[in-house]
Amino acid sequence: MKQSKRETTLSEKDALQDMLDVEKLLMNYYAAALTEGSSNSFRKAILKRYTEHAATQFSIFEQMLSRGYYEVQPAEKMMLDKQTEKFQKAAKQISAATA
């Protein structure tokens, strides 16, 4: 059965979510290409595209947030402190290993 355009039109929320998902996926691909790039000019070009998509992704996120389509839960101080401690330990281990 062939669907008409009316049957396949996304709501604003669904369209924004789809755009956000695509931008996140593109950022993952660019991040992978950046880590695998073997020439400086290629890496600069990929980093530029990554930065552009990061800005676009954040803009879409802000639009969803302002329309009430995306809910952000504030992090509890205890969780933030725990993560800060975890990364400080990792940084110390890396520093000790490279010293």
Q: What is the pLDDT of residues 56-87, one digit of tens each?
A: 999 999 999 999 999 888 888 888 888 888 88
In a domain, 46, yes or no: yes
In a domain, 92, yes or no: no
Name the average pLDDT for the chain: 89
The pLDDT of residue 99 is above 90 = no
At residue 73, the pLDDT reads 84
Tokens, residue 39 = 């020439």
Residue 4 pLDDT grade (very low, low, confident, very high; cuts 50, 70, 90)? low
In a domain, 2, yes or no: no
At residue 82, the pLDDT reads 85
At residue 28, the pLDDT reads 97
User: Which DSSP letter does residue 68 get?
Assistant: T
Query: How far apart, in whole angstroms, are the C-alpha atoms of residue 71 and residue 65?
Result: 7
Count: domains in the chain: 1
